[in-house]
Amino acid sequence: MIVSVVHQKGGVGKTTTSINLASALVLNNKRVLLVDMDPQAHSTKGLGVELEDSNPSVKDIMLKEATSLFAQYWAGDIHEVIRKSPREGLDLVPAEIRLSQTLEELYGRCSKNFRESILSKSLLPIMDYYDYVIIDCPPGLGLLAVNAIKASQFILIPSIMSKLSVDSITDLLNLLKRAKGTAFEDYRILPTLVDTRLRATNEYVIEELSIHKGKVLRTQIARNETINQAQITHQDIFAFAPGSRGAEDYAKLAKELLKLWEE
């Protein structure tokens, strides 16, 4: 299954969730590939993976699919891009800043329908190798996010406990309907950075989310300094502090999603 972690706003926990959900799935004996689709390469950096200028990344597999000309000087495929992460069983398709340049290439070379499906085509050769592919999407709802959504069977929407974050979910859901069809319902909303001391704010946000009946996960990710410290050390929360509240929350998230997916 391919799962995109998407929200157009930054700072809602997309990368944190992508890394720690992927790691939690590995700890549940799943084979997992994390695809970094953010030109800022936060998942790549967050796992402590350093790329040399000559190393291929996700931009290379997308450009290879986009033009046969590119294949003349880089004839590899996604298998040559995949890197091992420090977490045994978790592989990574890294990103780097030049991924943003890929957008210009795609707009110039491809029709709309083709350029929105390039990532989906790129992932086909490895689908039998992994139980789950987790895609960390960039902020915004541009071409990279649309590629991820088109490739995915499930969409996970992290949302912090704020009015602006919740309000913007409507725009994202409209995009899902356009990209996946009006019948698409395989998405869930994940409350993140939850501070239990902010009772009035939390009650307001939960009330606002109530319109998405059955789509808000029971699991909530608490605001947790240990998670921030894990990011600083380029580790997932299970490696950095396995007994922490953050590890407990992401373990619960994996269990809830596995139950949903396997049903």
| Helix (H/G/I), strand (E/B), else coil: 263 | coil
Q: What's this model's pTM, rounded to 2 decimal places? A: 0.86
Return the minimum-mean-pLDDT range out of 28-37, 44-53, 166-175, 238-247.
44-53
| Helix (H/G/I), strand (E/B), else coil: 2 | strand
Exposed e or buried b for every residue in 202-238, given b needs 16+ CB within 10 A? beebeebbeebeeebbebbbebbeebeebbeebbbbb
Q: Mean per-residue pLDDT for 24-30?
A: 98
Question: Looking at domain 2-262, does it have CATH number 3.40.50.300?
Answer: yes
Domain positions in the chain are 2-262
CB 146 within 8 A of CB 117: no
Tens digit of each residue's pLDDT (9 = 90 or more) over 237-261: 999 999 999 999 999 999 999 999 9
Give CA–CA dist 34/94, Å, rounded. Answer: 8
Distances in Å between the Cα of 115 and the Cα atoms of 110, 193, 237 are 5, 34, 35
